[in-house]
Chains A and B, each alone.
Chain A
Amino acid sequence: MTRLAKSSIAIALALLVGPAVAVPAHAGDRARTSVNRNKNENRNTNVNRNKNVNVNSNRNVNRNVNVDRDVDIDVDVDRHGCCYHHHSGWGVAAAVTTAVVVGSIVNTLPPSCTVVMVNGFTYQQCGNTWYQPQFVGTSTTYVVVNAPR
């Protein structure tokens, strides 16, 4: 898993609780793809990403059993077992069944989920647990949410 992926998870977690969480956009830990973007100036500040106090002070983080797990969110869920560092799929799915804390984020769903549309947005209902898919960057992740209806 890349440092980028880990960072994105932290960012998404922070977003779950507080309004207006100012987290620098991710940029580092992957080759820059442009020599023209102004934003690339942010790269240097992102070295300090793990000092983000918003994440550490977030109460949900501490009781979120998924925080420290390697969840590689940069791979679509329909791809399995291809790569050395893209190893998350099975372990995460198995662990989720025992840890369905609201706010948890995973990149794969347990089996037997049903797509439910609420207010035009997509949810996945897996037993009694509801997941809301979202894009974080271009990666798909699933946030455990309270039942939306």
Chain B
Amino acid sequence: MKRTRYFGAVLAAMLALSAPAGAQTPAPAKDPAAIAALESMSAYLRTLKAFQVESLTTTDDVLDDGLLSQQAAKNTFLVEMPNKLFVTVSSDAKERSFLYDGKNFTLWASRSRYYATVPAPATVRELDDELNNKYGIEIPLADLFRFGSPTWNAADITAAVDLGPGTVLGVTCQHYAFRQDGADWQVWIQKGAFPLPRKLVITTTDDPARPQHSAVLSWNLAPSYNAEAFTFVPPADAKRIALAVVSQ
């Protein structure tokens, strides 16, 4: 007993010595209740078999001189888990559609009438990985089908804070902030029986310019669509082009 106390004292002294000198900003706490809320939202998302989301997003580009250029876009997002997806992205610069029917992925540029179709893996999550790693394409709002998936782990979060109530487009939410490697992010989770993310803000922290991405989401949990919605049928004036492989 005495011995244990002795070692405890030594350990405490060592810790005190190894701490950086001077007053440091204490690391934010990892509030278990905030983590629980995130896990609850994630679990709820994974109960949804099909959903439709409209989102207004802003995404910062970092220019050569370090200035930020905020790009706004409107996205529509229809997913039928685990292997069907139809996403449209409309911004000042371009309009794109992503179609995935479980077999093929098509990128469609409605203004230029160009499209590219490539064979696709078996699930939306694998598709997102492949598009990212092989083609340099990001599916907007991919977090909606990644929270609560096997690749997601709340243990990666190093800080979690409950910021209190907040309203998003008239919906009462609870506002949380999280930190993980490379990103500080916030989520507004709808209160009540349907804990949906209503707003997401991601700040990239491993870039000194700290570019930010935000998305405000409107949900439809009973979307009406048919199976053809996910398969690209080229219009008569559509022109097929290649999709460049940027990594392997």
Known contacts A133-B241, A137-B135, A138-B96; is A2 also within 8 Å of B64 by CB? Answer: yes
Query: How far, in angstroms, from A32 to B206 measured CA to CA in the complex?
Result: 10
With a cutoff of 8 Å between Cβ atoms, the chain B residues found around residue A75 in the complex are 93-94
In the assembled complex, A66 has its CB within 8 A of some CB on chain B: no
Query: How far, in angstroms, from A130 to B138 measured CA to CA in the complex?
Result: 30
Shortest distance from the beta carbon of B115 to any chain A beta carbon, whole Å: 9
Our count of residue pairs bridging A and B at CB distance below 8 angstroms stands at 179
Per-position contact with B for A26-42: 1 when CB-CB < 8 Å, else 0? 11111111111111100
Query: How far, in angstroms, from A122 to B140 measured CA to CA in the complex?
Result: 27
Q: Which of A31, A38, A82 contacts B151 (CB 8 A)?
A: A38
Count of B interface residues, CB-CB < 8 Å: 61
Q: Which of B62, B128, B133, B206 contacts A2 (CB 8 A)?
A: B62
In the assembled complex, B152 has its CB within 8 A of some CB on chain A: yes
Per-position contact with B for A20-58: 1 when CB-CB < 8 Å, else 0? 111111111111111111111001100000000000000
With a cutoff of 8 Å between Cβ atoms, the chain B residues found around residue A136 in the complex are 136, 244, 246
Q: Which of A26, A30, A44, A86 contacts B206 (CB 8 A)?
A: A44
Count of A interface residues, CB-CB < 8 Å: 56
User: Which of B22-30, B46-54, B158-166, B180-188 forms contacts with chain A?
Assistant: B180-188
Per-position contact with A for B75-105: 1 when CB-CB < 8 Å, else 0? 0000000000000010011111000000000
**Contact between A36 and B151, CB atoms less than 8 A apart:** yes
**Contact between A133 and B114, CB atoms less than 8 A apart:** yes
Per-position contact with A for B96-125: 1 when CB-CB < 8 Å, else 0? 100000000001010110101000000000
Q: Which of B93, B147, B212, B239 contacts A76 (CB 8 A)?
A: B93
Query: How far, in angstroms, from A29 to B204 measured CA to CA in the complex?
Result: 10
In the assembled complex, B39 has its CB within 8 A of some CB on chain A: no
**Contact between B137 and A36, CB atoms less than 8 A apart:** no
**Contact between B142 and A37, CB atoms less than 8 A apart:** yes
With a cutoff of 8 Å between Cβ atoms, the chain B residues found around residue A83 in the complex are 69, 92
In the assembled complex, B248 has its CB within 8 A of some CB on chain A: yes
In the assembled complex, A147 has its CB within 8 A of some CB on chain B: no
With a cutoff of 8 Å between Cβ atoms, the chain A residues found around residue B116 in the complex are 134-135
Shortest distance from the beta carbon of B113 to any chain A beta carbon, whole Å: 9
**Shortest Cβ distance from B238 into A: residue:** A122
**Shortest Cβ distance from B148 into A: residue:** A36
In the assembled complex, A71 has its CB within 8 A of some CB on chain B: no
Per-position contact with A for B51-71: 1 when CB-CB < 8 Å, else 0? 000000101111110000100
Shortest distance from the beta carbon of B24 to any chain A beta carbon, whole Å: 24
**Contact between A135 and B248, CB atoms less than 8 A apart:** no
10 further A-B contacts with Cβ under 8 Å, apart from A8-B246, A79-B94, are A1-B64, A15-B244, A22-B248, A31-B59, A31-B203, A36-B149, A36-B151, A78-B111, A134-B241, A140-B114
In the assembled complex, B1 has its CB within 8 A of some CB on chain A: no
Query: How far, in angstroms, from A120 to B117 measured CA to CA in the complex?
Result: 12
**Contact between A28 and B207, CB atoms less than 8 A apart:** yes
Query: How far, in angstroms, from A82 to B128 measured CA to CA in the complex?
Result: 31
